[in-house]
């Protein structure tokens, strides 16, 4: 092969590779809402804690009445992305969608994400993340979907990541470039006696036995959010996201469940002991004024710092 053509081939191959995303001691947060609007308090939090990356939920994929997998609850950008902050688009896929026809879904997701980036002036995107609570029943279909999606993402210079739930550490590794370990939703919110359904280190530890042998580059995400949980006669009714969502009757009980700093730090230390590399990037879920005012600034620094 002539030198010129050899060089051209190498350049074309390089162009198809996803951008290398450095994660050394990175600080990141999730943004999980249908409206992207960063207020002054949130912007100040990002600056003061040197948060350089926002994982923004772009849309969900749900099963329509027609049986097709379709986008839903697409985020509306009402403010610009803060300067110096990189966006990682996240697409949440309902598990039941994986039992539908997925042949066109990878192409549709990539096209929609790229269009949203362009429409909303979201520049410098280097990664796409898929969030799905896949099961053993849907595992193979999900992995086949990820393989195709990864190929398409690479064509646009994007790495592909996936969320990893604690129980999935015992299952095969998905075909992605890396994962984010979700260190939350560890208990049973339906059980009124479970005081720590969001994060309980006692529930986390058994899953961590599989962490050292899990062959995927990981980051770790820790919770800040709270739940208002409605029980009726001691029986779970639902999580109250807004006033008036459920009728509250006489005798009902509304309990606020929240992660405690001691639980977060204990989980962080346990994970760091087994796989220090997981904390090359630490994420918090998620960015909102209520969540970032729960603890003192020094507490957030403790979570973020290696």
- Average pLDDT in the chain: 93
Instruction: Determine the pLDDT at residue 72.
Output: 98
Supply the pTM of this predicted model: 0.92
Looking at the chain, the number of H-run helices and the number of E-run strands are: 8, 14
Instruction: Determine the pLDDT at residue 198.
Output: 96
Rounded to whole angstroms, how far apart are CA atoms 259 and 263?
Answer: 7
Task: Give yes or no for a contact between 109 and 95, defined as CB atoms under 8 angstroms apart.
Answer: no
Provide the residue count of the chain.
Answer: 306
pLDDT at residue 3 tops 70: no
pLDDT at residue 9 tops 50: no
pLDDT digits (tens, 9 = 90+) for 168-220: 999 999 999 999 999 999 999 999 999 999 999 999 999 999 999 999 999 99
Comparing C-alpha atoms, which of 137, 144, 217 is closest to residue 175? 144
Q: For 10, which DSSP code?
A: H
Comparing C-alpha atoms, which of 178, 180, 159 is closest to residue 217? 178
SS3 77: strand
Q: Give the DSSP per-residue string, 258-295.
A: ---HHHHHHHHHHHHHH-GGGGGEEEEE---HHHHTSS
SS3 23: coil
SS3 16: helix
pLDDT digits (tens, 9 = 90+) for 16-73: 555 555 556 799 999 999 999 999 999 999 999 999 999 999 999 999 999 999 999 9
pLDDT at residue 274 tops 90: yes
pLDDT digits (tens, 9 = 90+) for 130-169: 999 999 999 999 999 999 999 999 999 999 999 999 999 9
Instruction: Determine the pLDDT at residue 16.
Output: 54
| CA distances in angstroms from 83 to 51, 100, 201, listed in the order given | 11, 40, 36
pLDDT at residue 12 tops 90: no
Task: Give yes or no for a contact between 64 and 96, defined as CB atoms under 8 angstroms apart.
Answer: no
Residues 6+ apart with CB under 8 A from 163: 129, 130, 131, 132, 179, 180, 182, 221
| CA distances in angstroms from 185 to 33, 50, 286, listed in the order given | 18, 26, 13
pLDDT at residue 238 tops 90: yes
SS3 36: strand
Q: Which domains does the chain show, CATH number per domain?
A: 24-223+258-302 (3.20.20.80), 226-255 (no CATH)
What token pair was written down for 163?
Answer: 């969320």
pLDDT digits (tens, 9 = 90+) for 96-134: 999 999 999 999 999 999 999 999 999 999 999 999 999
- Provide the sign of the torsion angle of the four alpha carbons 261, 267, 272, 278, taken in this order: negative
């Amino acid at each position: 092969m002539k030198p010129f053509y050899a060089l051209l081939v190498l350049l074309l191959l390089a162009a198809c590779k996803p951008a290398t995303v450095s994660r050394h001691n990175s600080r990141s947060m999730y943004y999980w809402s249908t409206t992207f609007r960063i207020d002054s308090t949130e912007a100040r939090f990002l600056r003061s804690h040197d948060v350089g990356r926002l994982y923004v939920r772009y849309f969900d994929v749900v099963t329509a009445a027609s049986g097709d997998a379709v986008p839903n609850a697409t985020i509306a950008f009402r403010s610009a992305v803060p300067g110096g902050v990189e966006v990682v688009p996240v697409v949440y896929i309902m598990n039941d969608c994986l039992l539908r026809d997925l042949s066109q879904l990878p192409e549709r997701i990539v096209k929609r994400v790229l269009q949203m980036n362009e429409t909303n002036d979201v520049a410098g995107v280097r990664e796409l993340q898929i969030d799905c609570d896949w099961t053993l029943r849907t595992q193979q279909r999900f992995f086949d979907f990820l393989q195709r999606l990864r190929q398409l993402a690479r064509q646009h210079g994007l790495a592909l990541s996936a969320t990893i739930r604690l129980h999935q550490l015992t299952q095969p590794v998905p075909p992605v470039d890396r994962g984010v370990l979700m260190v939350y939703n560890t208990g049973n919110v339906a059980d009124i006696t479970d005081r720590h359904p969001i994060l309980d280190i006692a529930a986390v530890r058994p899953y961590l036995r599989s962490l050292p042998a899990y062959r995927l580059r990981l980051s770790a995400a820790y919770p800040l959010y709270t739940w208002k949980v409605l029980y009726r006669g001691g029986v779970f009714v639902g999580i109250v996201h807004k006033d008036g969502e459920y009728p509250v009757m006489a005798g009902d009980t509304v309990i606020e469940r929240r992660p405690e700093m001691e639980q977060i730090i204990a989980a962080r230390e346990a994970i760091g002991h087994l796989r220090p590399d997981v904390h090359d990037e630490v994420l918090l879920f998620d960015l909102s004024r209520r969540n970032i005012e729960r603890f003192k600034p020094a507490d957030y620094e403790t979570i973020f710092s290696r």
